[in-house]
Structure 1
Amino acid sequence: MELLPIRRAILSVTDKSGLAEFAAFLHQHGVELVSTGGTKKAMADAGLPVTAVDSVTGFPEMLGGRVKTLHPHIHAGILADKDDPEHLKTLEAFKLQPFDLICVNLYDFAKAAASGANLKQAVEQIDIGGPTMLRASAKNLHSILVVPSAEHYARVTAELSANAKNGTLHAPLALRRDLAVDTFRRTSAYDAMISDYLGRAPQ
């Protein structure tokens, strides 16, 4: 679709600069905010209503936080093609709700690697759920707006505002495509950094 209505969003970020303002903008336009951990706390502390991911999935965070968002209630909502009636029927059959915006940036693995942490400690800072959501969202750019960095907040805010209709924000396809391109660039660089570290890290 050319203009995507934005009604439901996941926000899960390491870099929280500008988060409160961006989330407040979404909330003011009726967007449901879903989040995890520190991001959820930051938005709640800013006075914003936030739905916890574990209330969406029906499962608590587990394995020391390794498993939070890896669940059909999250990923079916991200990967559903809103232009495909069969996908929409599947969501309805399993009582799954789609997402429209995914705002995620990744664990700071470079900081962990540079800190002198041992291999066991460093690998705990390899983000799994974040890249998975980012890649899924970028793949599904026809049905999702992915926001992989705080540096995009100003453009996203401006373009969603410019395309608001009847009180609902809309994301144009050109914006979604641009940010999908940037998302794959970032996840590729992230994986390359991890591969380089693992190849040279002491045991």
Structure 2
Amino acid sequence: MELLPIRRAILSVTDKSGLAEFAAFLSGNGVELVSTGGTKKAMTDAGLPVTAVDQVTGFPEMLGGRVKTLHPHIHAGILADKDNPEHLETLEKFSLKPFDLICVNLYDFAKAVAQKADLKAAVEQIDIGGPTMLRASAKNFHSILVVPSPAYYGEITEALKANKMQAPLALRHKMALETFKATSAYDAMIAEYLGRA
């Protein structure tokens, strides 16, 4: 689809700069916000209505936070092709709701390395759910808008304002490209660290 209406979003970010303003813009334009842990707290503290991921999945965060978003209620909603009637029928059959915007930035692995964390502590700063959501969203950019960094909040806000809360395909394509660049750089950093650890 050329213009994607933005109605439901997941926000799960390590870098919370600009988060309250961006989330307030989305919420103020009727977008349902879903979030995890610290991101949810930051938005709740800003007075925004937010649904916890565990309310969506029906499972609590577990394994010390390692498992939060790895669930069909999240990933089916991210990966569904909204132009494919079979995908939409599957969502309906299993009472799954699609997402339209995924805003994720990753655990700060570089900071853990810079602080000379030991190998076990550094490994705990390798994000799993974040890259999974980012890559799934970037793959499915025809049906979802992915936001991999606060650096894009302004551009995305302006594009949504200009298009009545609909994300143009060209913007979604651009964000998918930037997302794959970001996840590739993240994996390269981890590989480089493990190669010398």
Give the alignment's TM-score, normalised by structure 1: 0.97
1:55-74 equivalences under 5 Å are 55-74=55-74
The equivalent residue for 2:174 is 178
SS at 1:63's partner residue?
Answer: coil
- What do residues 89-115 of structure 1 show as CA deviations (whole Å, max 9, x unaligned)? 000000000000000000000000111
- What do residues 54-100 of structure 1 show as CA deviations (whole Å, max 9, x unaligned)? 00000000000000000000000000000000000000000000000
Q: What letter corresponds to residue 50 of structure 1 in structure 2?
A: V
Q: 2:183 aligns with which of 178, 182, 187?
A: 187
* Distance across 2 between alignment mates of 1:191 and 1:116: 19
Q: What letter corresponds to residue 80 of structure 2 in structure 1?
A: A
SS at 2:68's partner residue?
Answer: coil
* Distance across 2 between alignment mates of 1:59 and 1:115: 33
SS at 1:197's partner residue?
Answer: helix
The equivalent residue for 1:132 is 132
1:32-111 equivalences under 5 Å are 32-111=32-111
SS at 1:134's partner residue?
Answer: helix
Residue 119 of structure 2 is aligned to residue 119 of structure 1: yes
* Distance across 2 between alignment mates of 1:118 and 1:199: 14
* Distance across 1 between alignment mates of 2:195 and 2:115: 17
The equivalent residue for 1:141 is 141
Give 5+ residue unaligned stretches, structure 2: none
The equivalent residue for 2:8 is 8
* Distance across 2 between alignment mates of 1:154 and 1:82: 26
SS at 1:65's partner residue?
Answer: coil
* Distance across 1 between alignment mates of 2:173 and 2:151: 16
Q: What letter corresponds to residue 193 of structure 1 in structure 2?
A: M
Two-structure CA RMSD over aligned residues (Å): 0.3
Give the alignment's TM-score, normalised by structure 2: 1.00
- What do residues 6-35 of structure 1 show as CA deviations (whole Å, max 9, x unaligned)? 000000001100000000000010000000
- What do residues 127-168 of structure 1 show as CA deviations (whole Å, max 9, x unaligned)? 00000000000000000000000000000000000000xxxx
- What do residues 162-196 of structure 1 show as CA deviations (whole Å, max 9, x unaligned)? 000xxxx1000000000000000000000000000
1:159-170 equivalences under 5 Å are 159-164=159-164, 169-170=165-166
> How far apart are 1:116 and its partner, in Å?
1.1
* Distance across 2 between alignment mates of 1:115 and 1:28: 39
* Distance across 2 between alignment mates of 1:22 and 1:78: 20
The equivalent residue for 1:153 is 153
Give 5+ residue unaligned stretches, structure 1: none
